Amino acid sequence: MSGRRGPRGLAARFLLAQLLVVGASVLAAVLVASVLGPPLFHEHLMRADVAPLSSQLLHVDRAYRDAGLWTLGAGLVVALALAATVSWFLARRIRGSLRALADAASAVAAGRYGARVPSTGAGAEVDALAEAFNTMAARLDSTERTRRRLIADLAHEMRTPVSVLAVYRDALDDGVAAWDETTATVVSDQLARLTRLVEDMHDVSRAEEAGLVADPHAQPLGPIVRSAAEAHREAYAARGVDLEADVRRDAAVVGDRDRLGQVLDNLLTNALRHTPAGGRVRLTVDDAGPCTVAVSVADTGDGIPAEQLPHVFERFYRGDTARDRDHGGSGVGLAISRALAEAHGGTLTARSDGPGRGAVFTLALPTAPGSPGGRGPTQTPFPPPQEDIP
């Protein structure tokens, strides 16, 4: 019993297609020449006043058919040779590109996300496929780096409180330490740190799915901003950092008051964390377009290098010692804030002129229809409010 035949290669498919086209063309030409050729030839003989005898006419017809068959046969051979050559050339060119793509795909499947497909000039479609593959591989590479960094940061974040708890447990078991107020405070603080880490991870996942925006209403933005500023004023004063709030436009937005407050809390906490004593943080609400209001938090603190700006909203991202673990925080506050901003139909961006020159975080939100500060958008990211929050 013979084995199962494998699929034909690209070159064989090209050659077969070319042979079918050439064969069909030659067959059509033979049929047309056999049916229409002799009558037309006889007609031209009669017009030329040439009236051959029957025997001569038979010879002429045979000569005509032989010449036509030999001509078509020679044309068939040449066409087949050209078809084979063209098929081989095209198949080789495209097969090389597809082989490079297959090799790169195998490399990516094996975890080597740095694999890329070079442009071979095999055609616009093949080049577009190679470009799409390279884009996919680059994103997978970035995702893999983020995943590894996230796991490393998670391990680091959990290592300290777990180690402290383990040390105190051993000390209590060995009788070296007693359960007193100091021990209780340390254990409570470390458990709170672990709890906060778990809650932050849960919040950022829900925020990215818009699961935290539960109670959207049309409401003025000014009171939310002023409330956030007042909530942080004492902490700023304790650190010797000046906090200014300037509501230039009290436009209405459609959103969840608590979640918008959470975004502002994260931004103000982040600004305080990276602004030294004697610095200043300015919280401003102003126009950002006919249908948009912007809330900016500008500080005079550490600043952000240009190469780190695209990454500040990533989970657990810390670029350098200016934004490391010693400043506190789990590293997901900005990620949560951006996800909440997008869930409200807005954006959250960061800008900095460089290290030591401060940073500006801007929350842009669409205004509610008919807001007093300007024209609102015709549609909002949430259903119409059922009642206003007092």
The neighbour count for residue 219, using CB atoms within 10 Å, is 21
In this structure, what token pair is assigned to residue 89? Answer: 């050339």
In a domain, 255, yes or no: yes
Question: Per-residue pLDDT averaged across 248-255, rounded?
Answer: 85
Name which residue leads in pLDDT, 156 or 341.
Answer: 341
Q: Residues near 147 by Cβ (< 8 Å), separated by ≥ 6?
A: none
> Does the pLDDT value for residue 182 go beyond 70?
yes
Note down the domain range covering 81: 10-109
Regarding whether 138 and 273 lie in a shared domain, the answer is no
Domain membership of residue 389 (yes or no) is: no
Strands ordered across the beta sheet of 359-366: 242-247, 280-287, 292-299, 359-366, 347-351
CB atoms within 10 A of CB 340: 27
Final residue in a domain of this structure, among 80, 109, 138 = 109
4 or 358: which carries more pLDDT confidence?
Answer: 358
Is 3 a member of any domain?
Answer: no
Same domain, 255 and 345: yes
Same domain, 201 and 224: no
pLDDT of residue 214: 58
Quick check: is 375 in a domain?
no
138/260 same-domain check: no
Cα 91 from Cα 176, distance rounded (Å): 79
CB-CB contact of 241 with 272 (8 Å):
yes
Select from 285, 287, 280, 274 the least CA-distant residue to 333.
Answer: 274
- How confident is residue 51, by pLDDT bands cut at 50, 70 and 90? low
**Per-residue confidence band for 143, with pLDDT thresholds at 50, 70 and 90:** confident
* Residues 318-331 pLDDT 10s: 554 334 444 545 56
- Tokens 């909440």: give the residue: 340
- Predicted confidence at residue 153, as pLDDT, reads 67
How much is the pLDDT for 324?
46
Distance CA 336, CA 266 (A): 9
pLDDT value, residue 257: 86
283 pLDDT higher than 90: yes
pLDDT tens-place string over residues 188-213: 888 887 887 777 677 666 665 555 66
Phi, psi of 235 (to 5 degrees): -65, -40
Which of 112-126, 154-168, 292-306, 357-371 comes out lowest in average pLDDT?
A: 112-126
Q: Is the pLDDT of residue 379 over 50?
A: no
Question: CB of 309 within 8 A of CB of 323?
Answer: no
CB atoms within 10 A of CB 288: 21
The count of structural domains within the chain is: 3
**26 within a domain of the structure (yes/no):** yes
386 within domain boundaries: no
Q: Is 266 exposed, middle or buried (0-12, 13-18, 19+ CB in 10 A)?
A: buried
- The answer to the question of residue 356 being in a domain is yes
Taking only the tens place, the pLDDT of each residue in 63-73 is 766 777 777 77
Q: Are 365 and 255 in contact (CB under 8 A)?
A: yes
For the segment 51-66, the average pLDDT, to the nearest whole number, is 64
